[in-house]
Structure 1
Amino acid sequence: MTTDTRVLEAPDWDRWFATLERAFGGAVANSSEERESSRAVTEYERSVGVWEGDACVGTASAFSFGLTVPGGARVPAAGVTMVSVAATHRRRGILTSMMRRQLDDVRSWGEPVALLTASEPDIYGRFGYGAATRQLSAEIDTSRVSFRVPANTDGTEGPDGIRLRYAALDDARASIESVYARLVPSRPGMLERRPGWENKLLVDPPEARDGASAFQCVLARRGEGEGAETVGYALFRVKPTWDEAGPKGTVVVNKVLAVDPVAYATLWRFLGDIDLTSTVSVSNLPVDDPFQFFVSDVRRSNLRVRDSLYVRLVEVGAALAARTYQTPVDMVLEVEDAFCPWNEGRWRLTGDEKGASCERTADTADLSLSVRELGSMYLGDTSAAALAGAGRVRESRPGALTEASVAFGSPVAPWLPHGF
């Protein structure tokens, strides 16, 4: 039978989502609450299904995000998600056809960048996606490690003016979202998201807890009375464990965010001091996260790094012009992009810390690379020199590699704060 690719309609969502769930071994939604939260954020007009008769055999969707880029601007971006092909229909070109349809759609929507988190990174490199951020995880031995709180701005020691209070999730929702929104411009890779995500990210089904508690939330507030403001929060679980020697539970951190160093360190010190626990486990922090400099012994924090966000430049000129550059840059990039041929060719990038332009040119290339490498460089995590060491960027003008490596960098590491 032939297949038909069409935009998802609400009555078809259950069959469409069931295809996705089956492709991921049933691990997409652990409960009806999670399932309904996924339905609530689905953007139907940005989702497609591949159908063979009445059977759905392929799925793909794209969320509407604003992506923070170096310089602090938010660029419209398509958050590619819920991609699957039925195991019975592999190697028939269904994934390629969906990626083709989706990138054409993203271009028509005027979004110069597409994003995804890859279940298998090798799949998406052939469609032009490059690894653009990394994430840090840690297992902190709090029986041996303590947290130092930095001095206040007036030079006094300790978390003066910071008060920590437990809060019910429903009561804390607005405060959590407010702290997050304040931080979105501060780091490349962070996502400005549509309403509804504040609910999805707090869904807490018992099936997902792996023996730990329900979510607990602590707010950090500065000031007294009506003038007090929430300046940070910690969202976490506690997983109790005991052995012959006594309690050795784990604090499983979902998120810790704060608007200043004192509030941030105060929350970390609280997490490290919770009774009946001896470990703090966290799976997604920026690779330059300040917690590494709060701890008394970083070796006993067991740090690990892995890939996180993958970026694809859908419109090379618009994407490169949307960010700023650490140092002045004026160079010609020769871009290879067989999957989106409108990006093929030479582009003159001119910019600095105030802004940039990127236009077509016939001038001689200074650097040659594929759109995948540009995606990896885009947020400032991966340097052109590192990619050149792997033979993936080629220098034609001496000095261009160093110029690009410095200019494309970011003073803070890019970071994807949550999956999608």
Structure 2
Amino acid sequence: MTVFDVRLITEEERRATFDVLNRSLHGKRVADDLWSRMGVSWPAAHKFGAFEGDAAIGIASSFDTEVAVPGGRVLPVAAVDGVGVRADRTRRGVLTALMAAQLAEVAERGLPLAMLHASEPTIYGRFGYGSAALGKTVRVSRPAARLHERVPVAGEVRLLGPEEAVKEIPAVYRRIGLHRPGMMARPEAWWPAGHERHLVPEERYTVAVHSGPDGVDGFVTYETIGRRSLDSPDEGAVLNVYDLHAAGPAALAGLWRFLLSVDLVSAVHARHRPVDEPLAVMLTDHRHASTLSVEDDLWLRLVDVEAALAARGYRAAEPVVVAVADRQLASNSGQYEVGPDGARRTSAEPDLVLEVDTLGMLYLGQWSATALAQAGRIEVRDPAALTRADELFTTVTAPWNGTHF
């Protein structure tokens, strides 16, 4: 039996807990020079460590930011950016204790939501997280792929040097704004690890920006991966897109037009793109754009169910009464009437019954109530309520996070 304590870490324990996380994900201990540049992205605040004596054996980290929800509002959220347990201490209750401590702290501070990217999707449902947004991996063949002649042409694309990209891109991201449900603000501490380390000093990635009539309105960060070999000496490189955001269709088209114009390239590869991004129909031949996979892009946990439901917008339909069960935060359990005017607690009999992880799947509009009911995730008391719930929770734009954290 492993005896351990779970507590908030100190400033002096930041690097040791980061190393535990890195090794749990099969990475190497971070080198001194890299830590000096990206350690600012691993502050001690909101990090729970599991300790055997003075030795760290587990970590659950989060940072505060904001996320867009359906209807246009932006809510405070805890972004869980690192969860790991030392390989010789797994399956002994360490992860459960860490996640319980983290969730209790987020609730105590009054944040309505928590979110994460899941390294193993089977882990987080039992802590109340649901797969709330999907992303697709696309691959576009070159040089055959061409944008259709009626795709918008406006503005120009230019490359930035590494230091210029470090300085300018945060402001571009803020200017683009959180225009999809699930998109998140990137706090200052995110940028050193999430952006800068790819650019300096190694210059591994390239950054280009699109400028329209009103200034810079999009950017792309990508790396070039060589494919040439003795067996294929003329094989072109692959452009691997890491980060691409655009304020509108013209900027999006301009960035993709640029990527598809780079010489000596055999393909453009991009992971976690919005599932409704119209790249294929932007091409003269949509077969040149292949969707290789669709996978979870964001997991969401409603920490304050009443506040979170009341904050998002709904489409026009008759109200539905939803009963929610929450095993970790019992105060969330109960009935909620959801309608075009918002949501509130009620004592009325429920039309639909679900657990809080399923509510996380429904919340951003990625999954319909009908699909979740067919999958056995929603108990239907009134069959007519499914159609109403589908209409209420549906969003015109697919949810998408689009930020590595």
TM-score range, shorter chain: over 0.9
User: Can you give the 5+ residue segments of structure 1 that lack an aligned partner in the other structure?
Assistant: 153-157
Deviation at 1:260, TM superposition (A): 2.3
TM score, norm. by length of structure 1: 0.89
**Contact 2:306 2:344 (C-alpha < 8 Å) held by counterparts:** yes
**Could you say which residue in structure 2 is the equivalent of 1:155?**
none
**Aligned-residue offset at 1:132:** 0.5
Distance 1:208 1:97 in 2: 39
1:192 partner amino acid: A
> Is 1:232–2:218 an aligned residue pair?
yes
Q: Report whether the alignment pairs 1:260 with 2:245.
A: no
Q: Which amino acid aligns with 1:222?
A: G
Please say if residues 149 and 266 of structure 1, whose CA atoms lie closer than 8 Å, have aligned partners that are also in contact. Answer: no
One-letter code aligned to 1:176: I
Question: 1:358 aligned to 326, 330, 344, which one?
Answer: 344
* Counterpart for residue 197 of structure 1: 190
Give the alignment partner of residue 314 of structure 1, picking from 303, 306, 310.
Answer: 303
Q: Is the 8 A contact 2:62 2:81 kept in 1?
A: yes
Within 1, Cα distance between the matches of 2:284 and 2:364? 31
The one of 161, 165, 187 aligned to 2:180: 187
Query: Residue in 1 aligned with 2:115?
Result: 115
| Letter in structure 1 aligned against 2:354 | L
Distance 1:149 1:329, change over 3 A: farther
TM superposition shift of 1:177: 2.2
Q: Return the offset for 1:287.
A: 0.4
Q: Specify the code of the residue in structure 2 equivalent to 1:11.
A: E
Higher deviation after alignment, 248-257 or 69-78:
248-257
Q: Relative to 1, partners in 2 of residues 1:198 and 1:26: Cα closer, same or farther, differing over 3 Å?
A: closer
Does residue 396 of structure 1 match 2:381? yes
Cα 1:23–1:185 shift into 2, 3 Å: closer
Q: Which amino acid aligns with 1:83?
A: V
Residues 393-415 of structure 1: CA deviation (Å, up to 9, x unaligned): 12212311111112111111111
Task: State the identity %.
Answer: 33
Q: CA deviation at 1:247?
A: 4.4
Match for residue 160 of structure 2? Answer: 167
Cα displacement string for residues 9-34 of structure 1 (whole angstroms, at most 9, x for unaligned residues): 111112212221221112585x5565
Aligned to 2:12: 11
Q: Secondary structure at the match of 2:127?
A: coil
8 Å CA contact 1:34–1:205 kept in 2: the answer is no
Q: Distance in 1 between matches of 2:29 and 2:179?
A: 31
Give me the CA root mean square deviation: 2.3
CA change 1:345–1:38 in 2 (3 A) is: farther
Q: Aligned equivalents of 2:29 and 2:294: distance in 1? A: 24
Q: Give unmatched runs, 5+ long, in structure 2.
A: none
1:369 positional shift: 0.6
Shift in CA distance, 204/195, structure 1 to aligned 2, threshold 3 Å: closer
Aligned-pair CA distance for 1:206: 9.3
The answer to whether the Cα contact below 8 Å between 1:133 and 1:309 also exists between their aligned partners in 2 is yes
Q: Deviations over 1:106-160 (max 9, x none)?
A: 01111011111111111111111110011111111122211236465xxxxx33x
Give the counterpart letter for 2:205 in structure 1: F
Distance 1:248 1:87 in 2: 40
CA contact (8 A) 1:68 1:184 kept: no
Counterpart in the other structure of 1:248: 236
Partner of 2:106 in structure 1? 106
Match of 2:209 among 210, 219, 229: 219
Q: Is the 8 A contact 2:279 2:289 kept in 1?
A: no
1:314-393 to 2 correspondence within 5 Å?
A: 314-352=303-341, 356-359=342-345, 361-393=346-378
Aligned partner of 2:24 in structure 1 is 23
Give, in whole Å, the separation in 2 of the partners of 1:32 and 1:382: 44
- Equivalence for 2:170: 177
TM-score between both structures, scaled by the size of structure 2: 0.92
Q: 1:46-125 maps to which residues of 2 (within 5 A)?
A: 46-125=46-125
The 8 Å contact of residues 317 and 391 in structure 2, kept in 1 or not, is answered as no
Please list the CA deviations of residues 368-407 of structure 1 after superposition, one character each: whole Å capped at 9, or x if unmatched. Answer: 0111110001111011110100111122123111111121
**2:313 alignment partner AA:** T
Which sits farther off after the overlay, 20-29 or 339-348? 20-29
1:186 is paired with a residue of what secondary structure?
Answer: coil
Which is worse superposed, 177-186 or 335-344?
177-186
